[in-house]
Structures are given as structure tokens and as C-alpha cells.
Amino acid sequence: MLPVTYTVSDVEMDTLFEVESLKKYFPVLGGVLKRKIAEVKAVDDVSFSVLKGECFGLVGESGCGKTTLGKTIIRLLKPNAGHIFFDVPKDELEEIKKLENGDPKSRRLKELTRKYDWARFGASKLKSIRKYVQIVYQDPTTSLDPRMLVKDVVVEPLVAQGIARGTKANERVIEVLEKVGMSEKHLYRYPHEFSGGQRQRIAVARAIAPNPRFVILDEPTSSVDVSVRAQLLNLFTDLQKDLGLTYMFISHDLSVVECISHRVAVMYLGKIVEFAETEELFKKPLHPYSQALFASIPVPDPTKRRGKPPPLLGEVPSPINPPSGCRFHPRCRLAVDICSHEEPILVETSQGHFVACHVVAPSKRG
Amino acid sequence: METENIVEIKDLYLNFYTYDGVVKALDGVTLNIKKNEILGLVGETGCGKSVTSLSALAIVIPPGNIEKGQIVFHASNKNFDILSLDEKDLTKLRGRYISMIFQEPRAALNPVYTVGEQVAEIYFHHRKEEMINKVLTELEEDLKKASGLKRSIYKRDLSLYKKMLENPKSLSLRIYSKIPILRRFQNRMKKVAKKEIIELLKLLNIADPPRVVDMYPHELSGGMAQRVVIAMAIACNPYMLIADEPTTSLDVTVEAQILYQIKELQKKFNTSILYVTHDLGVVAEICDRVAVMYAGSVVELADVMTFFKNPTHPYAQSLLESIPRPGKKFVSIPGTVPSLVNPPKGCRFYDRCKYALEMCPTTKPKLLEVEKGHYVACHLYGE
Amino acid sequence: MSTKKGRFAELKKSMQPRIKEFKFTMSRVRKSPLSLAGLAIVLFNVCIALLAPVIAPPTQYDPFMIPRDEKLGWRYEPTGPSSTHLFGTTSLQVDVFYGCIWGTRFAFILGIEILAVIVIIGVGLGIIAGYYGGVIDEIIMRFTDIILAFPSLILAMAFVAALSRSGWTVLNAVILSIILVGWPGYARLLRSETLRVKSEDYVEAARASGASDLRIMAKHILPNSVYSMIIVLSLDFGTIVLTAAALSFLGLGAPPGYADWGRLIYDSVSWSSSGFRYWWTFTFPGIFIVLFVLGWNLLGDALRDVLDPLYRRK
């Protein structure tokens, strides 16, 4: 049973990831000489933490940067700025925070960041972190090499990182396939011979083969049927319990996120606008964007029809030229003067519930 | 003969002839869409809902082939047997009486033509006479006020447009349309069309229509592109609109906007809509009746309240159970969809059904009415 | 349990799905008569090449030197087809039949040698250019630009002339020249394929799995670009042999008396002024060339039709 409603903040949980002020921009090249003429601010100054053993939900619409955020954390992309602290023991994490606030240029801080900050890692160090973090993609058709047999697909992380080879690797492959509900007889087949749900299982098997600590699930159920979706979600929760995994569940399907995540963050145009424990967030969303987002989900109950005009009008602006100040202000029903020239910061409105909005959660300064 | 149905699909069988065998995609689909209603067609991948909706327009993608069945379309006072019409008559129907919108809006728009040009194409194909008559009235007005050179130009334009109505393929018209300067007589018609198009786009709440008309599809966002596609579909005020998962690829806030738009348009124009989707939330939001398909046939057909309150067919029940609810474990339907190359002889849901009876694997259940307007194909409720 | 038997069984098992794919490809080939014709012609040529020593037994140390008929002496004028010389003889009483048969074998050897090197260079550079991008890409692409700026035959002629002057044998010069002129096309093709494959999810997934650049290039990009390369390869086989024949025809190829179609036609040029009087000197080599190139072209076209839908089917 998935304990969806335990309060995370009460218990002293260990942090797996501590992300600070993360930025990822993509250059837009143009002109004859292909120079940088603009930047897509996909992830713009995002800070949060992921606790060990939890399922961290990340929701938002297309263009909000959630996939980019996930990929940047596991260093498939190189961040432009910010820190990604992985698996720092609690006392050292406290030390880092104290030094950042007090003595940012201290040698001890530099030492600690060099040891734990993935944002600083170069190519050689990155090779060693691959076994800790894995990713399951949205579309199992394109995330599995169509020219490789199932056994080659699943064994790749083991062989590429030198974790195991030969018979030991094959044994591990069979072990992992059985964990995801497939079997040895599927080894010598091509991925396209399987259904979407089975292909996604193969992708999951590949992800858990190197025994990682953290898996990013990037919209893993969006490309499969409704009946298969439940099977996959059960698989994820079982594996989490079984293997002690930590998940980041990225999705635009809010009903699924509500059921599987412990804490959820809502992103809009590269920023986290609201962040709370699941039950709290879905019961009482505070940020106007979160409210509009939740109100837009079509509920499978005809007695609860909306009928009225849609909760949110207009389109998401381009992340190349986001609106000034609070990014949501042009579409926000609560917008006031300050919203157009000052960016709101995340403020804790109640235990574990953070909102970035001048109106709903004004910050203490100014 | 006044019926309340606008389209009736009777016993449709469709096969796909592939390298791996004959895929029996549709196995006796019976469905009816009433006038002025939104019918939701629900099912999972491979159940045949898209194929059914395409067949309603007699669009069969090879290697498919319709084996048996009848599709009848009841227009205002005429009946059309869709499957027996030839291409020429079908092109007159498509876009004018029955329109279709697809899942990927940007795939439905031609990337090398502007929005205006594509919508104009619909107008010129189906409503050319209307356009020309409008031009003629305009021209006659201008002719009265003009003098001198303009007068002779207008006179010539008038004769050309009149000729368009009588003899569209005349030689002089064709020559005029090819030579650059003489071609200018077409500008009037283009202007009239543009005005109509802008009005149409306003109807769909597209912001700043005069600017959008000259934009290319890749410059549009997903929601805007889908609105343009819908505009093209309703340009000729069709009797029926077929929507094949039009909001699946859109964000949820945009989806809410489009659903609201579709509902408003339906109320305004009394169009019947066949809405194909796999999202039960969307069905609950806008549909009047629901039809559930599984592995090539309709298993349940009911109005939307009854369906959600009291789903009768075991598959429909499982579908509703599998909707994720917080705090509860996810319920899935065990097993997988049977291969349609070698489908089971009896009920195709038999091997995944909790309530399977002895006769289920051998005889196929027929779609029967269990209460008024509520049809189920299951031996549990059979004769 | 890594026994020899175990490993063999594993190999057989992993070949099975590939064999199934191959059978599917073959069934599509069977559907088109032109592709069957192409396949038949190519197989026919292969048979001739393999059976050359049987059909036309060599009489000299180098089997590619065409035997002359001693009985007919050193007469210049070609003699027509007869029972001893099926296709007649060309200048200096060189047997045309022998030349055509062994010319087939020579064409294959030439084609395979040249293509092998072109593929290795072109594919290697193309994938590296596409994968790394940036400066490496620019440099490699400029090289291809330079070579592609020239008409290939003329550039090849220039290379042959220059190389044979610096001591290379003419035949080796021809091979090297065609290689130099031919690799840019493959580099470009593989570069574009690499760019396409590089953006696919499974390549990023491989990176997330810790695969090194080399591993990704070899195990992911290469196998997925192979299809379009095969199509170009089969079309190119004919073109390369044709280019080599053209060079020989211009005198920049095989030495006199060599079993090469182009050489035979070169010898026949001096006799063609009398019209069709000595028709056998150029007709037979010509037919062989046409048949060879036609076979490969048809096969290449067929492969293109067959392999592309394979993508769609998946």
C-alpha cells in the first residue's frame, strides 16, 4: 500500500538531492554565422530537495521545463548555473548551507562542493555517477534501440559501466526482467515485437539493472493505454518498496501524480510556482496557476461538469522571452502592480507548503 | 422519412490484409449517432475506434478493406448510402456535410500554405457559387458608381465572374487565370473569402484573426492550430463533425478551452459530433451518449449519466475501475487485448472477464437493449 | 556455463529474430519483378566471376592477362567469332571471350576493394563528424566540399595521371583515385544519418546508461544507419566499375592485354572507324558492362523500396 498521506516534514528524512538555484538555458542560434541570438530559459533558478525513498511529482504543461529539470539533475544536460548536491550526509549538508550563507568563499565550502556538487563534475567524474541515477522515457518505441535485442538493451548499463559482464550480466538481466514481470523467453526478441506496455517494462528493466538509487520517470504512462497504465503504476510502487528507490515522477496527467507521489511541485515557464505534499496540494492549491490547472482536468463524472468557460485563457508564452516579474502575471486573475516587475520567491505558507506568489504568499521583505 | 439519427453504422466488418495475416479489425460494429448530440466513442489502442470513424467518411486506408456492412447518412431530406457512393459524390459530402478533425493539428495543416489559403481552399471547393454571387453583387454596386477606365474593367470582371458560374472550364477563363496582370480579377474573390475567413476565426475565439490569416502553421501554437483545423471543419456548416482525439496532444488548460469551444459551437450550429477519445474525463465533460468499443465491436452504448452510474459490460466496468483514485491501489485489467489476426470465436473479452460464462468463448454476444437507450453486448444480459 | 556448445546455442538464438527479419525483406523483394531481375543478373555475374577458371582456363602466370592465339600470330586485325574464339579476337589476337569472363571477376575484385576502403573511410569520418559536430565536423566537411566540387571522373583522371607519374602502377592508381573521389559521398550520408540518430531517445538513454562515445557510435549509430548505406552501396557498385571502365577506356587504366572491359573497348576504338565491321570487339564487352551495371542498379532500387517500408512497418 502506498502511504500517500504521511507528512514528510515531521519525520527527519534524509535528503538524496539538494538542488539550489539551478539554471539551464538553451542557446538559440541564428544568422549567417550561427551566433547566439536568444536563449530558451528552460529552467530558471529552481531550488528544491528530493528526499530518500520518496516519489517526487513534477507537474506542468508543455514548455514548463520539467523534463529539462529532470535531465539536468542527472547530468544528461550540463546546467548553466546552480548546485546539485547528491547524497550528502546530513551534518555535511547543514555545514554547506551554513557556509553558503556565512562564508561563501571558504575553502571548506569549495572542498565540499567539489566532492558532492554534480553541477561541477567533469567527464571523468560523471562516468562514476551513472550507476546511481537512471531514467525511463515517455515513449518506449523511441527509447529502445530498434536494432538491438531485448537482452542487449537491458544489459547495456551493466556492460557500458563495467558493472558485470558475460554470464553474470546475463543472470542479472534475467533477474531484472522477472522483476518487471517479463521472462527469460523474451530475451532474444526485438522490442517492436512487443506491445507498448511490455516495451515500457523493458525500459524499466534497463533502468533498474545497475541497481540505481534514483530513477526519473518521464511521463512513463503517457504513451500506453489506460488499462496498461495501472499495471505499470503498480510496478513502479512495488519496485520502489522492493528496491528502496527514489523517484521523480514527471507528468502532465495530474490524476496519476496525485495517486503515486508523496510531494508535488508545479512548474510554470521554468520556475516552481507551488510545492507541497500531495494531499495538501490537491486539496488546497494556493497559486492561481495551480488552481486553474487542477480545475482544467476533465473529471470522469458527468455530474461534476464544468459547463462554465474554461478556467484559464490564452496560451503559455514562449520561454525565450518570458514575461517580466512573475511569469504568470499576464494570465493571472489576481495580478497586481508588483507582479509585473518583481519575481515572487517561494514562501512557506503552512507546514511544508510553498507558494511563489505576491498576492497569496507575499514575501516578508519590502 | 424523418429519423432522429444522422448517421447509422450497421454491422460493419473491416479487415486489414497484412504480411502477418488478416487483421479482423472491425467485427460487426453497429452504432448510431443522433441529430444534435455529441456521441463519445471510447476504447483503447487497437479497438477500432479510429477506423470506424474514418469509415464513416468511407476513408479506408490500404491494406484495409470493408467486407460487409452499411453506413447510412441522413441529411435534411436525403439519405446517402456512404459505402456505395463513388469518389466524386464522396468528395462533395466530405468537408461539406460531414467533416473531420484529427489528433495532430499541425499534421493536418499543410506547412507551405498560410492559414488563410487553406481555409479558402475549403470555401472555394464547396461554396464557390455563394462566393461568386457575393462578388457579383459587389461588382454591380461598384459598376454603378464607377466611370471611365474603371467602368470597363468592372464590366470585364463582371462578365468573367458570370462565366465562372456558367462555364467554369471555359478557355478564356483559363487564359485569364494564367497571365499575371489579367489574373488580378481574382483578387476580388480572394478579398471576399478573406472577410469570411476572418469572421470564421473570430467565431473560434482566435485572437487577432487578420494577423493569423497570414501565418504559417508552424508559427501557431498547438491550441491555435487545432482551432484553425476546427474552423476549417465547420466552414461549411456541416451536419456532422467527426473528432478523432483532437485534444489528446494538447495541454490540459488548452484542452479545457477547446472542449468548451466545441460545446459552444455544437449548441450554436446544432451539429452532431462523433467524439473519439480514450479519456473518460473528456467523455464525462462534453458527451451526451457514450459507446465503448473493445477489439473491433461495440460492447456498450448508453447515455452518459447511465454509463457512469451503472456500467453494465464487464469491460466498461473495468475501465471505470481503472481510473486512478488517490489512496487506493491501481486496478488494472489482467491480460492483454487478443490478437486480431486470430481472434477468439466468441466474445473477444472472454479471457479477461471476471464473469465469463460457458457460452462466452463460443458464441459472440449481440448488442441488445437492456433498458431504454442502453445497449450491451454481453451474455450476462442476453436472451 | 560459458561452454562452446552454450555459446553456439546462444549465437543461434540471437540470429533467429534477424533471420525472421531477413525473410520478411526477401518476401518483399519477391513481389517486384524488376528487383528479381536485378537480383538474378547480379547472381549470374557472381557465378561467372566465381567460375571464371572453369569457363575460360587461364594459360599465363597472371590469369588476368588474356591469352593470345599463337596460331593467328601477331596480326593486328581482329578476327571474327569462331569455334575457337567464341567472341572473336581484338587487336593483337587477344581473345574477347576470355577477356569478358575474367573481366567480370576483375570487376568484382575492383569493386570490392574500392568499396571496402571507401566505406571504412567514409563511414568513419562521417559518423565522427556527425557525432562530435563543431570544429571536427567543419574540417571534415570542408574536405568533402573540396573533393565534391570537382567532376568526379575528371578528378579521378587527374589523380591517376599524377600517381602513375610518381611510380604507382596504373591499376593501383586507378583504385586509389576512385577511393579518393568516392569517400566524400559516404561521409556526407553517414553524417546526416548520424545527426538523425543522435537525436533519438535511445542514444540519450545509452548515455544515461554510461555508454562511452565510442560505444554509442559503434553499437547504436552505425547499426541504425546501415540501411541507407546498403542502398547506396549497391547502386555504387555499378558506378564504380563503370568509372574504372571509363578510365581504362581513356587509356588511364589496365595495361594492354589485361582482362578488363574498359581496356577491351579501348582496344576496339581503333577498329570502330570502319563501322560495324569489327562489331565483336566492342559489342561483347559493352553488353557485359551494361548488364553488370544494370543488375546492380535494379538491385539497389529494389533494396531502396524494400528497406524503406521496413521502417514504416515498425
Query: Tens of pLDDT along B100-131?
Result: 999 888 888 999 999 999 988 888 888 888 88
The per-residue pLDDT for A38 is 85
List the subunits that have 3+ CB pairs under 8 angstroms with B: A, C
**What residues form DSSP beta bridges with B16?**
B23, B64
CA R_g for chain B: 25
Overall pTM surpassing 0.90 (yes/no): no
Q: What is the mean pLDDT of residues A282-290?
A: 92
Checking if the pLDDT of A5 tops 50, the result is no
The per-residue pLDDT for A2 is 33
Q: 3-class SS at C279?
A: coil
The per-residue pLDDT for A8 is 47
Checking if the pLDDT of B3 tops 80, the result is no
**What percent of chain B is predicted at pLDDT more than 90?**
17
Please report which helix (H) or strand (E) contains residue A26, including its range: strand A15-30
The per-residue pLDDT for C60 is 74
Best C202, C312, C313 member to test A by mutation, with max A CBs in 10 Å, is C202
**In C218-279, which ranges are continuous DSSP H helix?**
222-249, 261-269
Q: How confident is the model at residue A10 (pLDDT cuts 50, 70, 90)?
A: very low
Structural domain boundaries, residue C173? 31-313
Q: What is the mean pLDDT of residues A100-125?
A: 85
Q: Which residue has the higher pLDDT, C274 or A196?
A: A196
**What residues form DSSP beta bridges with B5?**
B34
The per-residue pLDDT for A55 is 93
Closest by CA position to A206, among listed A148, A157, A139, A138: A157
Q: Is A196 on the interface with B (CB under 8 A)?
A: yes
**What percent of chain A is predicted at pLDDT more than 70?**
96
Q: Let me know if residue C26 belongs to a domain.
A: no
Handedness of CA C291, C292, C296, C299 (dihedral sign): positive
Chain C: residues touching B (Cβ < 8 Å): 24, 27, 313
Q: What is the mean pLDDT of residues C215-233?
A: 88
| Distance, CA of A63 to CA of B221 (rounded, Å) | 11
- Measured in whole angstroms, how far is the alpha carbon of residue C189 from the centre of its chain? 17
Among A38-42, A250-254, B377-381, C73-77, the minimum mean pLDDT is found in C73-77
Q: How confident is the model at residue C257 (pLDDT cuts 50, 70, 90)?
A: confident
* Residue where the block lists cell 488563410: B116
User: pLDDT tens digits for B143-184?
Assistant: 888 778 888 888 888 888 888 788 777 787 788 778 887 777
Q: Let me know if residue C40 belongs to a domain.
A: yes
Q: Read off the CATH number of the domain in which C75 is found.
A: 1.10.3720.10
The per-residue pLDDT for B373 is 84
Q: How confident is the model at residue A113 (pLDDT cuts 50, 70, 90)?
A: confident
Q: With beta carbons under 8 A apart, name residues in chain B contacting C27.
A: 19
Closest by CA position to C186, among listed C160, C147, C213: C147
Q: Do B284 and A197 touch (CB under 8 A)?
A: no
Q: Which residue has the higher pLDDT, C100 or A366?
A: C100
Q: Are C9 and C1 within 8 A, CB to CB?
A: no
- By C-alpha distance, the chain C residue nearest A73 is C208
CATH 3.40.50.300 maps onto chain B at: 5-112+233-294
Q: Is B180 on the interface with A (CB under 8 A)?
A: no
Checking if the pLDDT of C292 tops 80, the result is yes
Asked casually if ipTM beats, i.e. exceeds, 0.90, the reply is: no
The per-residue pLDDT for A1 is 27
The per-residue pLDDT for B354 is 82
* Residue where the block lists cell 470564421: B200
Among A277-286, B88-97, B163-172, the minimum mean pLDDT is found in B163-172
Closest by CA position to A44, among listed A323, A236, A231: A323
Q: Are B298 and B367 within 8 A, CB to CB?
A: yes
Cβ-based neighbour number of residue C226 at 10 Å: 16
Checking if the pLDDT of C309 tops 60, the result is no
Among A273-277, C4-8, C163-167, C170-174, the minimum mean pLDDT is found in C4-8
Checking if the pLDDT of B367 tops 60, the result is yes
Cell numbers representing residue B88 in the block: 466524386
CA R_g for chain A: 21
The per-residue pLDDT for A46 is 92
The per-residue pLDDT for C1 is 45
Q: Are B315 and B349 within 8 A, CB to CB?
A: yes
- Measured in whole angstroms, how far is the alpha carbon of residue A55 from the centre of its chain? 10
Q: Do A193 and C17 touch (CB under 8 A)?
A: yes
**What residues form DSSP beta bridges with B66?**
B14
Q: How confident is the model at residue C228 (pLDDT cuts 50, 70, 90)?
A: confident
Q: Are C134 and C148 within 8 A, CB to CB?
A: no
Cell numbers representing residue C118 in the block: 571507401
**What percent of chain A is predicted at pLDDT more than 90?**
39
Cα angle C52, C54, C59; round to 5 = 80
Q: What would the CATH number be for the domain defined by B5-112+233-294?
A: 3.40.50.300
User: pLDDT tens digits for B186-209?
Assistant: 788 888 888 889 988 988 888 888
The per-residue pLDDT for A314 is 80
Q: Is B267 on the interface with A (CB under 8 A)?
A: no
Of A130, A142, A145, the CB nearest to C208: A130
Q: What is the mean pLDDT of residues A276-292?
A: 92
- By C-alpha distance, the chain A residue nearest C214 is A160
CB < 8 Å & 24+ apart, contacts of A167-172: A167/C1, A167/C2, A172/A209
**What residues form DSSP beta bridges with B331?**
none
User: pLDDT tens digits for C57-85?
Assistant: 777 777 777 777 667 666 777 777 777 77
Chain C: residues touching A (Cβ < 8 Å): 1-2, 13-14, 16-17, 21, 200-202, 204-212, 215, 219-220, 223-224, 314
Q: Which residue has the higher pLDDT, C300 or C9?
A: C300
| Distance, CA of A58 to CA of A264 (rounded, Å) | 6
Q: Let me know if residue C25 belongs to a domain.
A: no
List the subunits that have 3+ CB pairs under 8 angstroms with C: A, B
Q: Do C206 and A74 touch (CB under 8 A)?
A: no
Checking if the pLDDT of C141 tops 90, the result is yes
Q: What is the mean pLDDT of residues B234-238?
A: 88
**Beta B368-371 vs B374-376: how paired, if at all?**
antiparallel
As a whole number, the mean pLDDT across chain A is: 87
The per-residue pLDDT for C4 is 61
Q: Are A106 and A99 within 8 A, CB to CB?
A: yes
Q: With beta carbons under 8 A apart, name residues in chain A contacting C220.
A: 145, 147
- By C-alpha distance, the chain A residue nearest B253 is A296
User: pLDDT tens digits for A139-190?
Assistant: 998 999 988 889 899 999 999 988 888 889 999 999 999 999 888 888 888 8
Checking if the pLDDT of B6 tops 80, the result is yes
How far does C314 lie from chain A, in Å, by closest CA?
A: 6
| Distance, CA of B163 to CA of B169 (rounded, Å) | 9
The per-residue pLDDT for A250 is 94
Q: Is A165 on the interface with C (CB under 8 A)?
A: no
How far does B20 lie from chain C, in Å, by closest CA?
A: 10
User: How many interface pairs between A and B have CB atoms less than 8 angstroms apart?
Assistant: 127
Q: Which residue has the higher pLDDT, C32 or A214?
A: A214
Cβ partners under 8 Å of residue C218, min gap 6 = none
- Measured in whole angstroms, how far is the alpha carbon of residue B203 from the centre of its chain? 19
